[in-house]
Chain A
Amino acid sequence: MAILSRGLRSVSTTTISFPTMVLSYIALFAWAFVVLFPLYWLAITSLKTPLDVNSGPFYVPFRDFVPNLDSWHYIFVDLGEDTFRPYLNTVVVGLTSTTITVFIGSMAAYGLVRMRYRVSFGAIASFISGVAIAAVAVVFGAPWPVGVAAGFAVFLLLLNTIARRVKPGVGNDDIAFWMISQRMLPPVAVVIPIYIFFQQLQLLDTWGALIIAYVASHLPIVVWLMRDYFQSVPIELEESAAIDGASPYRIFRSIVLPLAVPGLVATFLFVLVFAWNEYLIALFLTSANAQTLPLTVAAQNATRGPQWWYMSVLILIMIGPVIAMAIALERFIARGLLVGAVKG
């Protein structure tokens, strides 16, 4: 059967009837137009003078208007340092935070898929008591390290005494849901506490603050997406590796991760995109040094109204690297490594 189906593959999945093909192409080109036209408009707007933009729609360069590079010159030369510094910040913060997030997140996702956790209600109650003690202490004027230490002590104390008697608890699915629920509070509600948090750590306006904040806020997405990809890795491979004496870490690194590459790549790509484009947290946590590009884009909305021409240039140079990365990584998504591994 295996041989038969392998022989048939070339027949069954590559032949597409002519009408299907035509319809597919019509649909594909239609959506491609929907996607590309706004980008085309950005591109030509970046070549227009303010006068061209404001005096009506001009569609084709050289025919309708004379393209010029004034806006590009302004962004790269006149602004110069004020463009390159945010750019560097965006690259460093985006890549670092994404790498950390995908690493930590896929470990947690693997744990949630292949291992069974039980957190007893006693442990949760002890933890909440600890946090409550810490909060009360801080509200009544204790310095925060003292409050946190007191809370932690209470937590440990309760955990090792009362909590041991409580057996029922929450399982893997509940942990996963708790993680995603962290994203439910709108950022506008949390920016002030987060601002105070980083102020206490004296990390405001640094890469560190943004990286930590982005790792924390994007982790749930990685956990949830990678859970599904790990679930689709055949368990037989892991079992046989375990029988051969591989440790869970080694199984994770040498078997599971390589098999989940399409999922990892997809996840990496859009966590990177989230971090690359994040606006509100960056607005609050950075001022001059660690400012990222989305802030620069929004800053082009001056008192005289949005300066479309500068904005277009900035948006274009922002998506450039991400597009390059998408082209480079697309192969991994497309290759379908899992299928080959099971067969081989």
Chain B
Amino acid sequence: MSLAAPVHESLEEEDLPKVSGYVSARERGFRTAASRWRSAGARLDRFAGAVFILPAVLVILAFSIFPLLASLYVSLARLSFSEGGVELKFVGFDNYAKLLVGIDHVHFLGLAGPLTPVSVAVLLAGAALIAFWLYRYSRDQARSVGGFAGRIVVALGAGTLLWLVVTTVMSSGRPGTLVVTVVYVGVDVTVQYLLGLGLALLVVQHLPGRRFFRVVFLLPMMITPVGVAYLFRMLTDTSKGPLYPLWVRFGLTDVSWVTNPWGARLAVMIGDVWQWTPFIFIVLLAAIETLPHELVEAAVVDGANRWQVFWRITFPLILPASSTVVLIRLIEGFKIVDLPNVLTNGGPGTATESLTLHAYTIWRALDIGGSAAVAYMLLIVVTFVGVSYVNLFRRRVTAMA
């Protein structure tokens, strides 16, 4: 308790205002405190807020701060071999400069191709969209200086990412690991969400045998990611894999898909979708199962069809759970490593390399500092995406619910 008390003071729970009942219960507890036991219980109740949250806060604190600081320091240093061992030499922002403008920038950011009419059009359209979005916020009743500043940061970040993606992907350039990772995450999370939602809606219907499908659909998630990666390597093998007849049919046995950058990326994305659709599926399924039936029934009585029931009732009510599961998948998706590593070894060239794999390959080459710098860049990108997502989308969704 001595440890918990000072931290609790800083938490300063304001009398649990959300549940008015708690307060009255506590008052009763004090009033009728006939025994010492009762009043001790009442005192413990007062700390309920701290008791509920402190274990988690302490565990996460203990395990996030030290690694975070240590790897920040490492990202600013270079490992060098000296007499009698190794030492970390402080080099400032050298590791970051190497990634952004130095020798590793083609690997990390990619190589921009010449602009084509199509890519210019896409860029202009994107810029116009962002500008319109900012303009609309500036006309909003609830606008604030902070909100506007945050949106400008988001606009700049999103614009930079769009520019990177368009110039390296659409203009016959070469996408770097950053762009490849963004593409993986964007495609994977979208496809997984749509599939997961569709499957969840299918199995909540009262169809005979639905419980069988529920369990079957969960299976891919349960295989260890390394195992899934090897499994897909086995399945996509063009000479021994089960799809051999297909490869023969399309004349692809010799031009193995592993030599085609987009073919290889597609294989990685298919593997990721296969493995992680169940995650979204089960979260949404549980969310739909806990919805009160009355709402749907009332709507049906009022003559709503299935489409209307879905868009007006089910979908808005599962939006909070959806936004959570999408956030988790976004964060986890950015860390994709096993599939590209095992399936294609990052190849052809570095075409399928994700950021984490990039960090890992540098790490294996004993450039610990450079590896930590890649990891920190990943952290910055994920934080940017995560914070924007939470502030612009999730908060609104949960406020609505």
User: Interface residues, chain A, CB within 8 Å of chain B?
Assistant: 1-2, 4-5, 8-9, 12-14, 16, 21, 24-25, 27-28, 31-32, 34-39, 41-42, 45, 53-57, 59, 104-105, 107-108, 110-112, 114-120, 122-123, 131, 135, 156, 159-160, 163, 173, 175, 177, 179-190, 192-194, 196-197, 212-213, 215-217, 219-221, 223-225, 227-229, 231-232, 235, 238-249, 252, 262-263, 265-266, 269-270, 273, 276-277, 279, 293-294, 297-298, 301, 306, 308, 311, 314-315, 318-319, 322-323, 326-327, 330-331, 333-336, 338-339, 342
Q: How far is the CA of A305 from the CA of B248 in the complex (A)?
A: 24
Which residues on the B side are within 8 Å of A32 (C-beta)? 213, 216-217
Q: How far is the CA of A221 from the CA of B225 in the complex (A)?
A: 18
Q: Are A239 and B287 neighbours in the complex by a CB distance under 8 Å?
A: no
Which residues on the A side are within 8 Å of B6 (C-beta)? 156, 159-160
Which residues on the A side are within 8 Å of B24 (C-beta)? 242-243
Which residues on the B side are within 8 Å of A45 (C-beta)? 234
User: Interface residues, chain B, CB within 8 Å of chain A?
Assistant: 6, 9-14, 16-22, 24-25, 28-29, 41, 44-45, 48-49, 51-53, 55-57, 59-60, 62-71, 74, 195, 198-199, 202-203, 205-207, 211, 213-227, 230-235, 239-245, 274, 279, 282-283, 285-287, 289-294, 296-298, 300-301, 320-321, 324-325, 327-328, 331-332, 334-335, 337-338, 355-356, 359-360, 363, 368, 371-372, 375-376, 378-379, 382-383, 386-387, 390, 395, 398, 401
| Nearest 10 Cβ contacts at the A-B interface | A242-B21, A189-B375, A111-B52, A108-B56, A123-B10, A216-B63, A277-B224, A193-B70, A248-B48, A190-B67
Q: Are B331 and A184 neighbours in the complex by a CB distance under 8 Å?
A: yes
State the Cβ distance, A213 to closest chain B Cβ, in Å: 7
The answer, among B74, B203, B285, B287, for a CB contact under 8 Å with A28, is B203
The answer, among B234, B324, B332, for a CB contact under 8 Å with A225, is B324
Q: Are B222 and A159 neighbours in the complex by a CB distance under 8 Å?
A: no
Q: How far is the CA of A56 from the CA of B241 in the complex (A)?
A: 7
Q: Are A225 and B294 neighbours in the complex by a CB distance under 8 Å?
A: no
State the Cβ distance, A120 to closest chain B Cβ, in Å: 6
Number of A-B contacts (CB under 8 A): 375
CB pairs A–B below 8 angstroms (10 shown): A27-B202, A107-B55, A177-B387, A187-B356, A212-B63, A228-B324, A242-B22, A248-B52, A265-B286, A270-B279
A13-B206, A159-B10 given; A8·B18 CB < 8 A: no
State the Cβ distance, A180 to closest chain B Cβ, in Å: 7
Q: How far is the CA of A41 from the CA of B242 in the complex (A)?
A: 8
A115-B16, A216-B60, A297-B230 given; A322·B222 CB < 8 A: yes
State the Cβ distance, B369 to closest chain A Cβ, in Å: 11
Which residues on the B side are within 8 Å of A224 (C-beta)? 324, 327-328
Q: How far is the CA of A175 from the CA of B234 in the complex (A)?
A: 43
Counting chain A CB atoms within 10 Å of each CB, the highest count among B20, B67, B215 belongs to: B67
Residue of A nearest to B9 (CB): A159
Which residues on the B side are within 8 Å of A265 (C-beta)? 286
Q: Are A279 and B242 neighbours in the complex by a CB distance under 8 Å?
A: no
Residue of A nearest to B335 (CB): A186
